[in-house]
Amino acid sequence: MIPRALALIAAIALSTGAAHAAYPERPITMIVPFAAGGPTDVVARIAAENMSRTLGQQIVIENVTGAGGTTGTTRAAQSKPDGYTIMMGHMGTHGAAPAVYPNLKYSPTKDFVPVGLASGTPILIVARKTFAAKDLKEFVSHVKGNSDKLNEAHAGVGSVSHTTCTLLNSILGAKPTRVPYQGTGPALNDLVAGQVDYMCDQIVNLTPQIQAGTIKAYAIATAERSPALPDLPTTKEAGLPEFQVSAWNAIFAPKGTPPEAVQKLNAALVKALDDKTARKRLLDLGADIPDVPGRSPEALAKLVDSEIARWNKVIKAK
Ligand code: ASP
């Protein structure tokens, strides 16, 4: 009798202790919905490494690929909302996907809570090194005249590379063969190997290869040049001002995640983006680091709303 009563008291004490234990008390999984080595993965790993130190628990990256990022995003949406599963989403998974997939199994707004924006990532037009065009004007005329013979690589329907090159192809009236990959990491490997002809991708994936001269870069689709690639002209400077598009990566948690967990995750992200080493790594790759107001969950919620509206118009117009 007495030992039983003691066991009961001990059990109550333990469970009360657990309820009050400070979050996080074990490792956190961050789902990356694309292949390792691509832009989403790169931004996730830089952020997660620093955030892990602040949180005192490891953030473990899990690459869950498929369906232009929507497989991993669905998994994240359906995960237990306890702060131990989060994800690195982007303009495709949380902006374009609802317009691209009428039967999408998640809502970027209703099934997630925003944690914070990790990086802005300008879009570049790139091609294999041996592509027969020395600048954007030649690229445009070559693609216009030969698109039926060309292969364009992308990371699955609805991904950033897919939606932004959909825009480019429609401006050019081009109909290339569109080759899907599990992420632009593996797509870039094939571009370097000369197995595909061109793609549109987030800058953070491309900067090292452009600097090494293993691929050709024609233009950056933003208003300003990137300090990471100062010789690369903007699409406006290079003669294709209609192609203006840029992307972003951001952290989300499943709806119902405790506000204290979201707040701690956001604080760790904010701190990571001010860390000297993390900043340098991101800036060297060409990422735009959001200012402090731009890192809040509220700012991300607004961005997601405006991106869903923007891509809905773009995709319906196609
Ligand atoms: N760039 C993404 C990645 O592989 C995929 C995409 O959306 O294009 O991380």
How many angstroms does the Cα of residue 155 sit away from the middle of ligand 1? Answer: 6
pLDDT at residue 315, as a whole number: 86
CA 178 / ligand 1 centre spacing (Å): 15
pLDDT above 80: residue 22: yes
CA of 181 from ligand 1 middle (Å) equals 9
Q: Is the CB of 202 under 6 A from ligand 1?
A: yes
Question: What pLDDT is stored for residue 131 in this prediction?
Answer: 98
Tokens (6 digits) for 221: 């689709």
Residues 169-196 have pLDDT tens digits of 999 999 999 999 999 999 999 999 999 9
Q: 38-48: per-residue pLDDT in tens?
A: 999 999 999 99
What integer pLDDT is reported at residue 4 of this predicted model?
55
Helices (H) and strands (E) in the chain, counts: 12, 9
34 lines ligand 1 (CB under 6 A): yes
Distance CA 203, CA 6 (A): 61
pLDDT bin (cut points 50, 70, 90) of residue 19 is: very low
Residue 136 has pLDDT above 70, yes or no: yes
Q: Tell me the CA distances in angstroms from 55 to 25, 46, 86, 223, 282, one per residue in order.
A: 9, 15, 14, 37, 20
Average pLDDT, rounded, for the chain: 94
Pocket-testing residue among 32, 45, 124, 161, ligand 1, by greatest number of atoms within 8 A of Cβ: 161
Cα 242 to middle of ligand 1, angstroms: 22
Rounded to whole angstroms, the Cα distance separating 29 from 37 reads 18
Residues 202, 235: Cα–Cα separation, whole Å:
15
Quote the ligand 1 centre to 177 CA distance (angstroms): 18
pLDDT of residue 36: 98
Say whether 196 sits in a helix, a strand or coil. coil
CA distance linking residue 158 with residue 253, whole number of Å: 20
